[in-house]
Structure 1
């Protein structure tokens, strides 16, 4: 089994990029439980200014259900575009990742709205799979 620490930088980058692609597609489809499953059991997730961070998978699910509840009757579709990913291995074997995330909000017959953010992640490998241990989103 390959561990993140054994991968060359290009392979590690590709692996993180694939992880983000699958993770963000779950979020964009509002598969909140599936998205939360990409975090560790004790993860921390801070995504909206003024809101306290969510902690644990259950906390992430509760937070995102609450967040998305206000959009129940809104036909808006969000798309998260993660790019410019910079990854580095930490001494403890975790992966420190900083990436730009452009959030595109699309509503029928309206111009898209773009929100520019930066995600600061710590990713860990468990049983050969990547998980987010912490995510802090900052807004431009």
Structure 2
């Protein structure tokens, strides 16, 4: 079946799902450098929860390092739980992905608590068949 602007081959969707599972586990496990490597060098990361977008992989990594240090200082663990993933072919080796991500936080001795519900919108490019994030927008529902 041909791929159109609305259809993506099942094997590509499967690879994208695996990409997100691996990417979210990297950040949840504190591997900020590994997580940052899943972005292109010229990537842009924007969120209504940040004062300004991060431009470039180095800036995105620096912001994630600050957030990870803050979580460590509080003894907090985060888990990113993705659902409702939609993958669309945008042409020229680019995919547009939209999903919901719930961030669950656990503090020592406390039960897990959802701390953010977000909409994640990504533009992915394929490098040798491997997805990389070129643009990410995270919209937190509580900050609208």
Q: Using the alignment, how far apart are the partners of 2:50 and 2:42 within structure 1?
A: 21
Q: Using the alignment, how far apart are the partners of 1:108 and 1:48 within structure 2?
A: 28
1:36 aligns with 2:36: yes
What is the Cα-based RMSD across aligned positions, in Å?
Answer: 1.9
Corresponding residue for residue 66 of structure 2: 66
Task: Classify the secondary structure of the residue corresponding to 1:90.
Answer: strand
CA distances 1:24-71 after superposition (whole Å, capped 9, x unpaired): 010001111100000001001124524211111111111111222323
Counterparts of 1:117-128 in structure 2, within 5 Å, are 117-128=118-129
- Can you give the 5+ residue segments of structure 2 that lack an aligned partner in the other structure? none
Q: Using the alignment, how far apart are the partners of 1:124 and 1:93 within structure 2?
A: 6
Corresponding residue for residue 84 of structure 2: 84
Q: CA deviation at 1:8?
A: 4.9
Q: Using the alignment, how far apart are the partners of 1:36 and 1:47 within structure 2?
A: 16
- Can you give the 5+ residue segments of structure 1 that lack an aligned partner in the other structure? none
Q: Normalised by the size of structure 2, how large is the TM-score? A: 0.86
